[in-house]
């Protein structure tokens, strides 16, 4: 009994002191941070994946270079040929992934005769985006054509989106298209239609809504702006320059603003801008500029095989309004575009989706990118119509075929920072909120490590090169580990620089990601 009484005061003292000890606990160093405009200073605040198409996040490159990467054309190309019984020619198209139906869906322009007097919009579907079929949409006629109410005598250049923000199921599909109500060129107009299934389309009663453009109009929903955006030709009069419009309701559209004009890059090959398709991507915007080189109906000299042909170049924007051309070494500014350099060589190297082998491949003459590019898993898909003949093929005695093709690029793969030897990329000061650093890189046969610096260039303790586990494989989602810990939350919420050390490696992007749960008990 005495022993039991002796221990009782000790237990009471411990219980009484426990709350006091808990109140004296201190948070681990760097766990909680303060942020204001003085602390952030000029550092970039980033949230999404960071690409290297431009130099927005890049402060310094040593022993590495930026490289424009071309999509790889699919080995089964062309993946859909024209139906020779019903389709004289096919051109502009739009491909979307309809998740509710588990299908890829394609709308494409069909010319029924050689005079362009008959034009309709065809419809095709695919389970994998590679093998396509033409479902019968009009059982009476036995065709795969889209059906308009009221009937449109001439339909062209369908630009289609699935509007995931639309509350009316009969307007889930939206289309911008060209119409020719009287079948005369003077009546050519730009119009809007809606659909619940992508097959039966209801014309907007107020058509035409948009000033004339005689090529494809390519819309998308911009979540950042909460607006619809579309790119189309300047005009009237019809001029081969790319303009932009936007709308809050797909009905009332802003006046055109020309955003891509001819420049010194276009002079060497007398290049015009035929169409442009674009999409929001990783917090920025990427676009495909349809470039038409050396238009002519005259005989073409043997030393100028590039004349009267179309291919595709890459363009880039951080706001969707001002666009930069992308060359072999990445995007260049408008000031640089007005400067002096070897523009002929720059233009030769700027092709993003090039024509096939001259007079041999199915897409040697013309390439028309479909709208929009699609992200499918870990790749980006670029569908396009390819034509084995020049633009004015009648005058050049070409006998063109028309088909749909596919080219693919790895996720974020537009422009890489790379070296065959050793080098570094150092970012500008940046601030992120996250706990995991993910990099998209191919370090197979080489290595990649990352160190973190403060804004003065001093290595942050625990995040030096020697603390970082070497990356030696190829993946779009490498998790960077320092001292065996993937959690890098001690770097978040403070201005830092990242320095990537590459050895025979290619770096495509990096991303501050949130992977962990950081719930903790309270501290003082």
Range 44-80 burial, b when 16+ CB lie within 10 A, else e: eebeebbbbbbeebbeebeebebebbebebbeebbbb
Would you tell me how many other CB atoms lie within 10 Å of the CB of residue 510? 26
Selection from 224, 221, 242, 246 nearest residue 233 by Cα:
242
Backbone angles phi, psi at 285, to 5 degrees: -135, 135
Low-confidence ranges of the chain (pLDDT < 50): 1-23
Of the options 1.10.10, 1.25.40, 1.10.287, 2.60.120, the CATH number for the domain spanning 29-66+416-513: 2.60.120
Residues 223 and 229: their CA atoms lie apart, in Å, by: 10
pLDDT value of residue 18: 43
How many residues does this entry show for the chain? Answer: 524
Interval 296-340: pLDDT, tens:
999 999 999 999 999 999 999 999 999 999 999 999 999 999 999
CATH classification code of 72-411: 2.115.10.20
pLDDT value of residue 523: 66
Residues 30 and 254: their CA atoms lie apart, in Å, by: 48
pLDDT value of residue 13: 43
Contact 286, 279 (CB under 8 A): yes
Interval 440-480: pLDDT, tens:
999 999 999 999 999 999 999 999 999 999 999 999 999 99
Domain ranges of the chain: 29-66+416-513, 72-411
Selection from 509, 506, 511 nearest residue 448 by Cα:
506
């Amino acid at each position: 009994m005495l022993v039991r009484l002796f221990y009782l005061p000790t237990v009471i003292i411990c219980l009484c002191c426990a709350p006091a000890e808990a109140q004296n606990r201190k948070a681990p160093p760097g766990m909680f941070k303060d942020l204001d405009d003085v602390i952030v200073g000029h550092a970039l605040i980033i949230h999404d994946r960071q690409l290297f198409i431009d130099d927005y996040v890049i402060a310094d490159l040593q022993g590495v270079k930026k490289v424009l990467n071309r999509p790889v054309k699919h080995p089964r190309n062309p993946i859909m040929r024209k139906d020779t019984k019903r389709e004289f020619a096919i051109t502009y198209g739009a491909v979307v992934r309809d998740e509710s139906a588990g299908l890829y869906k394609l709308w494409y322009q069909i010319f029924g005769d050689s005079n362009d007097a008959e034009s309709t919009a065809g419809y095709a579907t695919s389970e994998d985006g590679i093998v396509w079929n033409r479902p019968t949409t009009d059982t009476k006629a036995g065709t795969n054509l889209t059906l308009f109410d009221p009937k449109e005598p001439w339909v062209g250049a369908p630009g289609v989106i699935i509007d995931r923000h639309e509350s009316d199921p009969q307007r889930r599909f939206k289309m911008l298209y060209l119409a020719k109500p009287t079948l005369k060129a003077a009546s050519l107009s730009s119009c809007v239609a809606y659909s619940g299934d992508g097959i039966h389309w209801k014309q907007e009663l107020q058509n035409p809504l948009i000033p004339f453009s005689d090529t494809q109009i390519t819309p998308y929903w911009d979540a950042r702006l909460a607006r619809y955006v579309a790119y189309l030709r300047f005009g009237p009069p019809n001029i081969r320059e790319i303009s932009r419009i936007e709308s809050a309701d797909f009905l009332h559209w802003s006046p055109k603003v020309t955003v891509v004009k001819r420049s010194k890059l276009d002079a060497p090959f007398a290049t015009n801008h035929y169409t442009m398709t674009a999409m929001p991507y990783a917090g920025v915007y990427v676009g495909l500029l349809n470039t038409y080189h050396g238009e002519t109906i005259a005989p073409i000299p043997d030393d100028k095989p590039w004349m009267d042909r179309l291919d595709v170049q890459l363009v880039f924007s951080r706001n969707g309004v001002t666009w930069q051309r992308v060359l072999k070494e990445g995007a260049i500014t408008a000031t640089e575009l007005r400067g002096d350099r070897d523009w002929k060589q720059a233009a030769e190297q700027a092709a993003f989706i090039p024509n096939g082998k001259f007079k041999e491949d199915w897409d040697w003459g013309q390439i028309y990118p479909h709208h929009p590019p699609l992200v499918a898993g870990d790749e980006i898909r670029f569908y396009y119509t390819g034509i084995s003949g020049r633009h004015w093929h009648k005058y050049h005695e070409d006998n063109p075929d028309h088909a749909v093709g596919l080219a693919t690029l790895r996720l974020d793969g537009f422009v890489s920072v790379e070296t065959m030897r050793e080098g570094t990329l150092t970012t500008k000061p940046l601030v992120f909120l996250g706990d995991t650093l993910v990099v998209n890189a191919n370090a197979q046969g080489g290595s990649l490590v990352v160190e973190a610096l403060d804004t003065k260039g001093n290595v942050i303790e625990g995040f030096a090169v020697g603390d970082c586990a070497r990356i030696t494989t190829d993946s779009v989602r490498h998790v960077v580990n320092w001292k065996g810990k993937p959690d890098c939350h001690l770097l978040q919420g403070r201005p830092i620089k990242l320095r990537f050390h590459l050895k025979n490696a290619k770096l495509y992007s990096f991303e501050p990601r949130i992977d962990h749960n950081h719930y903790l008990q309270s501290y003082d």
